[in-house]
Amino acid sequence: MSGQDFTAEGGHGAVPLEGVPAAKAGHGSEREWPLYEVFVRGKRGLNHVHVGSLHAADDEMALRHARDVYTRRNEGVSVWVVQARHVAASSPDEKDPMFAPSGDKVYRHPTFYSIPDDVPHM
Amino acid sequence: MSHLTPDPNESAGSAYDGLLEHHEVAGDSSQWAFGTDFEDPLAGVDTTVPADVDPAALAVYCLMLGDDALVMSHRLSEWCSRAPDLEEDIALANTALDLLGQARLLLARAAAADPGVVPALPEGSPVPAEDALAFFREAGDFRNVRLAEVPNGDFAHTVVRLLLFSSVRLALFEQLASSSDPVLSAIAVKGVKELAYHRDYAGRWFLTLAQGTDESRHRLEEALRDLWPLYPELLTTHPVEQVVSEAGVGVAPDSVASAVEVVLEQVLAVSEVDRPQGQPLAGVRGRTGRDGLHSEALSRMLAEMQVVARAHPTGRW
């Protein structure tokens, strides 16, 4: 670990919490609504999937905004929102130690079975 | 009605390819986790005009409900790119689109009940009846309430207008769902779900602005004072509404007045805002929006809304 904490704030993966330039107090971003991450579950009973982020003043407003912004093309039957600062994220620096070791372990995949045509969502 | 999804077998490839490579069931719509089933609200509905109602009255009644939605929709869509932030911009556009959908169905129903209400267009024009009604009528032929047409003010103004408008329209549509006209009934059933959200949206913002800062509360109270005189018109029954209501096809607005009042009183009480004392805006010789009497603002709005369609009366869109 790099010893630095990361969050998903910004909506696109790990963003450092400390030691980064921020807006001056009382200006711009400080007065902006907090960022929320949005997860939508589709009609066919799949799990909730991260679809994007938005700003809202509180949890209730975030749910309404998520409905308006992310389900307008008939996508969803359920929405989750969570403040981006509550999402702990892995750091880009540790990408190799975190994920590379699984790259060559083909035996961990169930790819040696054939999947019947009528099984969806695999 | 099924909606087209991008063809995953297109050799050109699409942005969806990455999603599809994990799905061996390509070509089967069950693979799509999101957004493919679009419903036609009139699917399976008998569209014959009922025999026991005057078709001319039914047509004018549909114009009233349709014009309310069309004009309100246009005012809301004027917020596009101008709302306080991105999320509210999209929320207002969604609301505008819901109302536009209602307007389209209602204007089409008006034309089906009495083709005489549809403006004449040049021979061979491909413009459908509902578009002819929307884009080729003069302001004096519009039957919307005047609340829908007044120009936009600030965001508080839109919140107050939407609260008054959607509270009344929701109460009307809840009754209209049992209309003896199966088409009006189907339109109402669809509309109730939309309007319930619009009212909820406006009610929440009403409370937020009322209990927010001094500035937000001041703006809200000012908007309420400005718009209140236009509210009684929404609950006044026009002779045409009386006729269709007695025929079991339509709803008389005065019959839902007490239900609407309960809702508004509740919103005002929770928000700790006093009910305005303003007198109803008078008509001219007894005529109001439902009779085609409008403010100058509607003509200006229609001029902008209709200019392109009118320049190309035989255009195909």
H or E element, residue A35: strand A35-42
| B196-255 residues touching A, CB cutoff 8 A | 201, 204, 208
Band of pLDDT at residue A61, cut at 50, 70 and 90: very high
Where does residue A64 rank: exposed (0-12), middle (13-18), buried (19+ CB within 10 A)?
buried
Residue B3 to chain A, least CA–CA distance (Å): 11
Query: How many separate domains does chain A show?
Result: 1
Chain A interface mutation, best of B87, B97, B162, B216, highest count of A Cβ atoms under 10 Å: B87
Contacts of A54 in chain B (CB under 8 A): 86-87
In a domain? residue A108: no
For residue B25, is pLDDT > 80? no
Interface contact flag, B24 A42, Cβ < 8 Å: no
Query: Of B247, B222, B229, whose CA–CA distance to B54 is shortest?
Result: B247
* Backbone dihedral angles phi then psi of residue B293, each to the nearest 5 degrees: -95, 120
Helix or strand (DSSP H, E) at A76: strand A76-83
**pLDDT confidence of residue A17:** 63
Chain centroid, CA B221 distance in Å? 25
Range of the domain at A40: 6-102
User: In this structure, is residue A39 part of a structural domain?
Assistant: yes
Please report whether residue A121 resides in a domain. Answer: no
Rounded to whole angstroms, how far apart are CA atoms B152 and B157?
A: 7
Beta-carbon separation of A55 and B90 below 8 A:
no
**Among chain B residues, CA nearest to A53:** B87
- Note whether residue A112 is domain-resident: no
CA proximity to B101, closest of B80, B121, B144, B130: B130
Q: Which two tokens stand for residue B206?
A: 């009403």
CATH number at residue A48: 3.10.20.520
- Rounded to whole angstroms, the Cα distance separating B264 from A42 reads 35
How do residues B142-176 score in pLDDT, each as one tens digit?
999 999 999 999 999 999 999 999 999 999 999 99
Minimum Cα–Cα distance from B32: chain A residue: A44
Does A48 fall in a domain? yes
Is the CB of A73 less than 8 angstroms away from the CB of B35? yes
Note whether B24 contacts A: Cβ–Cβ < 8 A.
Answer: yes
> Quick check: B245 and B237 in contact, CB under 8 A?
yes
To 10 degrees, what angle do helices B86-113 and B182-210 make?
150
> With an 8 Å Cβ cutoff, are B25 and A40 in contact?
no
Interchain CB distance below 8 Å, A73 and B34: yes
Mean pLDDT across B231-254: 97
Q: How confident is the model at residue A43 (pLDDT cuts 50, 70, 90)?
A: confident
Mark out chain A residues that contact chain B at CB-CB < 8 A.
33, 40, 42-44, 46, 49, 54-57, 60-61, 64-65, 68-69, 72-76, 115, 117, 120-122
Judge whether B1 is closer than 8 Å to chain A, CB to CB.
no
Chain-chain contact of A64 with B37 (C-beta, under 8 angstroms): no
Identify the band that residue A10 occupies on the pLDDT scale cut at 50, 70 and 90: low
Residue of A nearest to B202 (CA): A64
Reply yes or no on whether the pLDDT at A45 is more than 70. no
- H or E element that contains A82: strand A76-83
Compare CB distances from A68 to B25, B36, B94 and report the shortest one's residue: B94
Residue B67 CA to chain centroid, in angstroms? 8
Q: For A114, name the nearest residue in chain B, comparing CA atoms only.
A: B24
Domains of chain B and CATH, by start: 1-38 (no CATH), 55-311 (1.20.1260.10)
Say yes or no: ipTM exceeds 0.90: no
The answer to whether residue B112 scores a pLDDT higher than 70 is yes
Contact A74 B204 (CB under 8 A): no
What is the spatial distance between Cα B250 and Cα B243, in angstroms, rounded to a whole number?
A: 8
Q: Is residue A118 part of a domain?
A: no
Q: How far is A46 from chain B (nearest CA, A)?
A: 7
